[in-house]
Amino acid sequence: MNKTRVEAFTDAIVAIAATIMVLELRVPEHNSVASLLEEWPVFVAYIISFVLIYIVWYNHHNIFHKAKFISRKTYLLNGIWLFLLTLVPFLTHWVGEYPDSTLPEFLYALDLLLWSILFQSMDHQIVRDNPGTPADPTDTINYRLVLYIELIVALIISFFWPIGCLFILGLATLILAIRVFFLPGNK
């Protein structure tokens, strides 16, 4: 498979997904700070989703940069990963509209968990297809275990305290962003 085409297609899908999310933000009913603050769940979900999309776009670039060969299996994993990514704008809007409901919060956290697992699987496949290629710095037990635990806790919390799921996802996103962009050992 042509690596450049896969990267270009992925970049386009990521850009579209990030753009669609901002279109879901509503103008407040009244021109006031109080009216703006009423929309906080939508803004929080948007910020979480945008930061996560930006992080995975950055990490996707890193894992594909190191690859010389892209197999059909990597291409398939990338397609499934993109499918899960394209659900993020829909789920972001749903969570913003119904922050106290279990189903949107649960499905949002589940999508993020599956998305993360697919990314790790894609990185593993690229390493298998390209012997001698190092795994992504985020593909370590420290990065993944902490992230997976946070996402699983968010899934469980969604049944008892749906809005708490959003807070846990926000915290997980903040921790991930700090680890990826500010701690040594990442490109």
Do 172 and 147 form a contact (C-beta atoms < 8 A)? yes
- Given a cut of 90, whether residue 183 has pLDDT beyond it is no
Q: pLDDT confidence of 104, banded at 50, 70, 90?
A: very high
Nearest residue to 125 via CA among 87, 84, 85, 81? 81
The model carries a pTM of 0.90
Q: pLDDT confidence of 42, banded at 50, 70, 90?
A: confident
AA letter at 32: S
- Given a cut of 90, whether residue 98 has pLDDT beyond it is yes
Q: pLDDT confidence of 55, banded at 50, 70, 90?
A: very high
How far apart are the C-alpha atoms of 96 and 76, rounded to whole Å? 31
Give the helix ranges, DSSP H, for the chain: 3-23, 33-37, 40-65, 72-97, 102-129, 141-160, 162-181
- Would you give the distance in Å from CA 14 to the centre of its chain? 10
Please give, one letter per residue, the 3-state secondary structure of 45-69. Answer: HHHHHHHHHHHHHHHHHHHHHCCCC
The SS3 call for residue 100 is coil
